Structure 1
Amino acid sequence: MFWLTLALFIFIFQIATILILEFRRPAKSVAWILIMFVLPVIGFVMYYFLAKEYRNRHKIRKRGIPPEEVRLTALRRSKLVHRPSDMNNGEFQHQERLFHLLHHFTDSPITGCNKAEILTDGQATFDAIIAAIEKAEHHVHMEYYTIRHDEIGCKFKDLLIRKAKQGIKVRLIYDGVGSYELSSEYIRELKQAGIETECFLTPRIAFFDKRINYRNHRKIAIVDGTVGFIGGINIGDEYLGKNPKLGFWRDTHVRLEGDSVYYLQEVFLKDWWFTAREKLSDPEYLPQHHCSTDEQVQIVSSGPNSGLEEILECVFAALAAAKKRIYIATPYFIPDESLLMALRTAALSGVDVRIIIPGVSDSKLVLAASLSYVEELMSAGVRIYRYGKGFMHAKVLLVDHLLASVGTANMDLRSFYSNFEINALLFDPRPMKKIEEDFIEDLANSHELTLHEIRSRPLRSRFGQVVARMLSPLL
């Protein structure tokens, strides 16, 4: 009886600890309690190392603060948008609430002198980035979740080494988990050529510092502070369709010129300060650009070291403002309750809501969790499609003709709460038109699900999706 009582006490203590620490996010509490029931002791150890609340760590918040002169220089050189009436997009004239929310993000204001080019696949993206690096005269800054030692990875390695030998300053940040397969030989060759490389939280350090659950999921490149790239594409052969399981890889990236590159650069400088503890204050990192177009762009970054969920708040506000259409493409669809309600409400109000998710996925568990949301959304009028040409990895949101979002954040809880992410909000008709055209083509390559099809799925599939949904806050 003594040992039984002791075991019961320990179990109750573990459950109480989770309920107290995770009271702000009930869904996360349920997921961890489920794990506790299955793995009573091991589950609590997992919780201790994986679920540490990142944003409460004062030293981490402090390390994330950029040098002040970086921000001042960017503000002085940027053409900023301060009022809804200053927006080129006429639909914003009556969207004061949405505008003021976006304007509230003072770390990433709406900039007014930009040019955005939509890149629809891996080949176009790699060609554009390589072409920009070839022309580099001062520096190349790259930050990627995944870098692979494969054919395209070696092509970038050789190019960066060649540019470094020409006197170009090259810096590279890669994530310790996303790039865990990257060989030490690859990094050694870069360092021997004078390229500065930093790993964002190696798995060993992250594990013992209880931060392994928080990853740098950003995928950005900046050349000479005047050209920037942001989107869903890492550096690996699979993005060229060379993964035999996934096949064709559908993705979206953006090439930027103009004021927005300053804020893309600022994110890199923050992350370099975080990883290398080196302050980069050379004015050449924020040079005078020569972009003469007037496209308006906003760079929005978020992470667990912030007091806000900026990307989640942007997405929710955009969905709430929709009057005609909401188009979403995402590889991982695990919305929180606020987004689920916003999508259902929009569809019930007559908004054309369409969501494309993968037909074939790189994670069966995540796909099962995504499918668990389908029936309730379709019952409200949301149209769900499964992409059939290959793997859908694009992270795209298009709301009316109001705005489009392209970046690294998936439509899931991990991107909104746990990862370091970055998106570009585009407000002008030209890039939005290209995103719309790509989305329509993706619909043609997709299979639309029906309620009969969903309701007829086997009981085994239903049960698996329920379990996956309960665990989804941790995926």
Structure 2
Amino acid sequence: MYWLIGVLVIFVFQAATILVLEYRRPANAMAWLFILFLFPIVGFVLYYFLAREYQRRRRVRKRGGIDEQRRAEIIAKSHLIAQPEEMPSPEFAHQERLFKLLRKAGAAPITGCNKSRVLTNAENAYKAMLEAIRTATHHIHFSSYIIRDDETGRKFREELIRKAEAGVQVRVLYDGIGSITLNKKYFVPLVESGAECAVFFPLRPAFMKKRMNYRNHRKILVVDGTLGFVGGINLGDEYLGKHPRLGFWRDTHLALEGDAVYGLQEVFLKDWETATRHNPKDPAYFPVHQCTGKEAVQIVAGGPNRRDDAIHETLFAALSVAKKRIWITTPYFIPDASIAMALKIAAMSGVDVRLIVPLVPDTYLVHAATLSYVDEMMSYGVRFWQYSRGFIHAKVVIVDDLMGSVGTANMDLRSFFSNFETNALLFDAERIAELERDFLQDLNDSREIELSSFRKRPRKVKAKQALARMLSPLL
């Protein structure tokens, strides 16, 4: 009898601890309580090492994780957009609240001296990135969640080695979990050539320091502080359609010239400091830009080292003001309550809300969690398509003619609140039209989900999706 009471007291203590620590995020609390119920004691140990905020997070958040001196230098050199009337779309004249939020989000300004290119799929992105690397004269800063030791990975390594041997500063940053299968021998030739290589939160130290749940999901390349790249494409052959199961890989990347590159550079250098405890400083990292374009662009960075959840906040604000359309492409759709409600209300108000998600998944559990939202969202008028040409990994959001977003963040809880992510917000009409053309082509390569047919799926499938949804805050 006494041992049973003891076990119950321990269980209640563990459950109470989770509820107290996760009171800001009820979905997380429910997921961990479910795991604790299935695996008493073991579930709490997992929570302690995987879910709790990593050391220093609260302290870092208080100061925003920003180098204020560096930020002041960026602002002084940038061509800032200070009023909504200065934005490319005349619609912003009536969106003062959204404009004010965007200006404050993520500590990065909206700059008006930029030129961008939408790079559809890895073939185009890799070509542009390699060309940029070959032009480097001072530095190359490259960050990727996944780096593969395959033909693609070795091709990039060869170009980076050539530049390092020529005296160009080369820094390569990769994530400890995303690139967990990458042998460290891959970096030996790079280091021998003079390049610097670092891993972001390697597996074992991250586990012991309770950082394993926080991954650097960014894909950033900055060349000489004047050319920048960001988007959904990592480094590997599968992005060229060579994955034996997934086949054709649909993705979107972005090339930037101009003041928006300052934002990418600042994000990379902060990540490098987090990984290495070294903060490289050189005025050449932030050169004065020749204004070759007039596009308005904003870099929005999110992560546990930032004061706010900037990516979540900017997307929610944009979705909330939509009048005509919300078009979203995402491989993983696991929204929090606020994003889900914004989409429901928009659809009920007559806004054309469309989502493209994969038909063939790369991760079955996450895919099941994504499909668990379909019935609920469609009942409010949201429409879903499943991409059938291969696997779709692009992370694109189009809101009216106001804004297009291209970046590394998925439409899920992990990207909103746990991962280190970076999105580029585009406001130029021509660039938004480009994203629109790609979206319409993707619709042609997709099949729309019919609610009546979807509801006829077997009970076993519904149960799997319900279980996946329960665990989705942790995926």
Structure 1-normalised TM-score?
0.98
Structure 2 counterpart of 1:262: 262
1:36 is matched with which residue?
Answer: 36
**Closer/same/farther in 2, CA of residues 150 and 106 from structure 1, 3 Å limit:** closer
Range with bigger deviation, 36-45 or 56-65: 56-65
Deviation (angstroms), 1:276: 1.8
User: 1:253 is matched with which residue?
Assistant: 253
- Please report how far the alpha carbon of residue 206 of structure 1 lies from its aligned counterpart in structure 2 after TM superposition: 0.3
Would the alpha carbon gap of residues 68 and 315 (structure 1) be closer, same or farther in structure 2, given more than 3 Å must change? closer
Q: Distance in 1 between matches of 2:87 and 2:201?
A: 40
Matched, 1:20 2:20: yes
Q: Would you say 1:397 and 2:397 are equivalent positions?
A: yes
Greater displacement, 137-146 / 50-59: 50-59
TM-aligned CA distance change 1:55 to 1:91, over 3 Å: farther
Distance in 1 between residues matched to 2:101 and 2:223, nearest whole Å: 30
1:205 correspondence with 2:238: no
> CA shift at 1:77, angstroms?
1.2
SS of the residue aligned with 2:197? strand
Higher mean C-alpha displacement, 185-194 vs 202-211: 185-194
Aligned partner of 1:148 in structure 2 is 148
Runs of 5+ unmatched residues, structure 2:
none
**Structure 1 residue 56, shift from structure 2 partner:** 6.0
Q: 1:55·1:305 contact (CA, 8 Å) conserved in 2? A: no
> Cα distance, 1:205 vs. partner?
0.5
**Structure 1 counterpart of 2:244:** 244
Q: What stretches of structure 1 of length at least 5 have no aligned partner?
A: none
Matches within 5 A, 1:283-322: 283-322=283-322
Q: Report if aligned partners of 2:88, 2:429 keep a CA contact under 8 Å in 1.
A: no
TM-score normalised by structure 2 residue count: 0.98
Superposed displacement of residue 307, structure 1: 2.7
1:123 to 2:123 alignment: yes
Deviations along 1:266-312, whole A, 9 cap, x unmatched? 11111112122222221111112223211000000010122311000
Structure 2 counterpart of 1:89, which letter?
Answer: S
Shift, 1:68, TM fit? 3.7
Corresponding letter in the other structure for 1:41: I
In structure 2, distance between residues paired with 1:180 and 1:372: 29
What is the distance in 2 between the residues matched to 1:146 and 1:453?
37
Evaluate the alpha carbon distance shift between residue 390 and residue 468 of structure 1 in structure 2; reply closer, same or farther with a 3 A threshold.
Answer: same
CA contact (8 A) 2:329 2:395 kept: yes
Residue deviations 1:291-340 (CA, integer Å, cap 9, x gap):
32110000000101223110000110010010000000000000000011
Q: CA RMSD in A?
A: 1.3
Deviation at 1:58, TM superposition (A): 4.8
> What is the one-letter code of the residue matched to 1:223?
V
SS of the residue corresponding to residue 105 of structure 1 reads: helix
Contact 2:106 2:300 in 1 (8 A): no
C-alpha distance 58-315 of structure 1, shift in aligned 2 (>3 A): closer
Q: Counterpart of 1:292 in structure 2: which amino acid?
A: T
Name the structure 1 match of 2:426: 426
Q: Structure 2 vs 1, CA of residues 98 and 60 (structure 1 numbering), >3 Å: closer, same or farther?
A: closer
Q: Provide the rounded CA distance (Å) in 1 between the counterparts of 2:330 and 2:173.
A: 25
What's the secondary structure of 2:107's corresponding residue?
A: coil
SS at match of 2:253: strand
Which amino acid letter does the alignment assign opposite residue 139 of structure 1?
H
Q: Within 5 Å, give how 1:29-428 maps onto structure 2.
A: 29-54=29-54, 57-58=57-58, 60-61=60-61, 65-105=65-105, 107-428=107-428
Deviation at residue 66 of structure 1 after TM alignment:
4.5
> What amino acid maps onto 1:144 in structure 2?
S
- Cα deviation for residue 70 of structure 1 reads 2.0
